[in-house]
Chain A
Amino acid sequence: MEYTIVVKNLTKKFGDFTSVNNISFKVKKGEIFGLLGANGAGKTTTIRMLCGLLIPTSGMMEIAGYNVFTHGKEIRKCIGYMSQKFSLYEDLTIIENLELFGTIYNIPKKILQKRILNIIARLNIRDFANSKVLSLPLGQKQKLAFATALIHKPEIVFLDEPTSGVDPLVRRDFWNMIYESASQGITIIVTTHYMDEAEYCNRLCFMSNGKIEVIGNPNKLKEKYKVASMTEVFQKITNR
């Protein structure tokens, strides 16, 4: 079995506070891997370490077959990231944003133009293409940010609460985009605290107080705890 992400004994401390406490997990290629947990459970810290934005206190991480500590350069080329906050430039137009990130990833101009046209067509935002991102509704912005994170065709995409504050209809749309990407072999790590979204993941990882409580397929977890929904699974785990 091919694993694109291998995490071993990962720990992150901020002073006396242990945000992530000795966690280990593996993620397969093309998998949609969900990180669940209450605020402060350590989801975002984990994602930020995986992206190279935070230095772990101890532990080992392997991404796309590269050791994080020795092959950062190679890893950068094959990961995409979408942060909790909306992070495109609001005073630039949609095309300018896409061109900026495309150029930074050294995508040849012709290919980049093609990809930008595809994104605009896929998101159905042709009328907005030359207007500032500022003028887009939030749901569209989130979809655009996702598309931007995918512009260099990464092997792994990290999505940190991509759908928070977005209405259910757009969330459905967003998850369709996630499925499309996964079917193309892109590994997706997503954090969320919507329980219905948890059902969409191939595998889930429940975190609380920096530790992994349980990892498994949503259906198998429901069977294991003999309940009908993920919300109930979550309650069983937290009440344990």
Chain B
Amino acid sequence: MESFKAILIKEFRHIFRDVRTLVLIFAMPIVLVVLFGHTIRNEISNIKIAVLDYSQDTYSKLLIEKMTASTYFKLTKQLNSESEIEQAFQQGIIHMAIVIPRNFEESIVRFKSTDIQLITEASNINVATTLESYGKQIIKDFEKEINKNHSNYIPFDVNVKMQYNPSLESAYMFIPGNIALIMIIVTALMTSITLAREKETGSWNMLAITPVNQLTMVIAKIIPYMLISLICTAIVILLGIFMFNMPMKGSFALLTIVCILFMLTACSIGILISVITKTQQEAMLLCMLGLFLPALLLSGFIFPIENMPWAIQIFSYIVPATWFIVALKDIMIKGAGLITVWLPVAILTATTIILIVVSVKKLMSKNIF
């Protein structure tokens, strides 16, 4: 116990003597949140659209009016033929085109189904998806409105549900993603670097030949980083709630448990990385490539998983951060309880246990005693 305390104190000394790194660690969550908060905004306004209206009747005009009445879309061009759509996209003057079929009014009056085509510029898949959803929602609203006096009309099969709360929508996305990133950087990256540093400088061997158990040594070494990572997480959550109006509908207790769980996952990955690498650079590179980038790109944080090819989706579901973000969103936005988030929690727990067993075994296998 005494030696555990001694190593713990030593680790805190390392941290507090390296003021630059310490400042960096605590500034990082703030910078990340503010940066992502102002860059990944998926809400849209004044998007230039074009209309190809084959009907030119009252209802089609009403729909167009409704579309442009919102602040989201701005009608910039009336098109006359299909070929002009391509042209308008290529000139870059529009981001979305709406095609209204012939006999629009007639089909509505006769309760026939009709189809409206939305064409979006998909070079930025995120914007395109958002535009599509907004467009669909307006069309659906329009449908309801004109049919509110009829009970037997054929509703459109628009199954996208989208709440009109643009500024919140991006907070939903980036706060949970940021928490995952911070946990990975502070816990996994810092633990693997601190362990790799001991190896690199040779001090690991000095400790390894002492009576102190290696596991005790590793645990004592990583506890400070766990504490720091929890503080950073709290900073992100508070910033999210108070600065970006992120909802917090679920229980704080469950949120804390899930965060601690993911922190343990990140820790065990950090230990594993430090066991298989020899230098700090190697550990850092492996953390970046094996942890940080997948968490950034594959977890659904920036790019929706549903839009990925199935082969990539498989990887997405292997990345622990994916499950952590799912659980976070459910708890914070939907106010889900443990019963709802059991799957991500179970997966994270299983992953953590496997990783800890593997890394501890690897750690222990190097020495005779």
A interface residues with partner B (beta carbon < 8 Å):
48-49, 51-56, 68-69, 72-73, 75-77, 79-81, 83-92, 96, 99-101, 103-106, 148-149
Residues of A with C-beta under 8 A to B7: 100, 104
Look across to chain B and name the residue whose beta carbon is closest to the beta carbon of A103: B6
Determine which of A72, A81, A106 lies in contact with B368 in the assembled complex, contact meaning CB atoms within 8 Å. A72
Q: A88-B203, A104-B3 are in contact. Are A77 and B211 (CB under 8 A)?
A: yes
Most chain-B Cβ atoms within 10 A of its Cβ — which of A76, A89, A90, A104? A104
Check B14 against A89 for contact (C-beta < 8 Å). yes
Residues of B with C-beta under 8 A to A55: 365-368
Cross-chain pair count, CB within 8 angstroms: 92
Residues of A with C-beta under 8 A to B166: none
| Chain B: minimal CB distance from A184 (Å) | 20
B164 close to A (CB within 8 Å)? no
Check A87 against B203 for contact (C-beta < 8 Å). yes
B10 close to A (CB within 8 Å)? yes
B150 close to A (CB within 8 Å)? no
Q: A52-B369, A99-B6, A100-B6 are in contact. Are A87 and B201 (CB under 8 A)?
A: yes
B17 close to A (CB within 8 Å)? yes
What are some 21 contacts across the A-B interface (CB < 8 A)?
A: A49-B368, A51-B209, A52-B369, A53-B368, A54-B366, A55-B367, A79-B209, A81-B205, A83-B205, A84-B202, A85-B201, A87-B203, A87-B205, A89-B10, A91-B18, A100-B6, A101-B210, A104-B6, A104-B7, A105-B210, A106-B211
Residues of A with C-beta under 8 A to B205: 48, 51, 53, 81, 83, 87
Residues of A with C-beta under 8 A to B10: 89, 92, 96, 100
Residues of B with C-beta under 8 A to A91: 13-14, 17-18
Q: A53-B209, A77-B211, A106-B3 are in contact. Are A86 and B14 (CB under 8 A)?
A: no
Q: A83-B202, A88-B203, A91-B17 are in contact. Are A104 and B369 (CB under 8 A)?
A: no
CA distance A91 to B198 in the complex (A): 12
Residues of B with C-beta under 8 A to A68: 368-369
How many residues on chain B are close to A (CB under 8 Å)? 26
Within 8 A of A (CB), among B1-46: 2-3, 5-7, 10, 13-14, 17-18
B208 close to A (CB within 8 Å)? yes
Most chain-B Cβ atoms within 10 A of its Cβ — which of A56, A90, A103? A103
Check B202 against A76 for contact (C-beta < 8 Å). no
Residues of B with C-beta under 8 A to A105: 210-211
Q: A103-B6, A106-B2 are in contact. Are A76 and B203 (CB under 8 A)?
A: no
CA distance A68 to B208 in the complex (A): 15
CA distance A51 to B118 in the complex (A): 72
B339 close to A (CB within 8 Å)? no
Check A101 against B206 for contact (C-beta < 8 Å). yes
Determine which of A48, A56, A73 lies in contact with B369 in the assembled complex, contact meaning CB atoms within 8 Å. A73
CA distance A96 to B209 in the complex (A): 19
Within 8 A of A (CB), among B41-90: none
| Chain A: minimal CB distance from B339 (Å) | 46
Determine which of A51, A84, A90, A103 lies in contact with B3 in the assembled complex, contact meaning CB atoms within 8 Å. A103
B353 close to A (CB within 8 Å)? no
| Chain A: minimal CB distance from B7 (Å) | 7
Check A81 against B13 for contact (C-beta < 8 Å). no
| Chain B: minimal CB distance from A29 (Å) | 20
Look across to chain A and name the residue whose beta carbon is closest to the beta carbon of B17: A91
CA distance A149 to B368 in the complex (A): 20
Q: A100-B6, A104-B6 are in contact. Are A87 and B369 (CB under 8 A)?
A: no
Look across to chain A and name the residue whose beta carbon is closest to the beta carbon of B365: A55
B207 close to A (CB within 8 Å)? yes
B212 close to A (CB within 8 Å)? yes
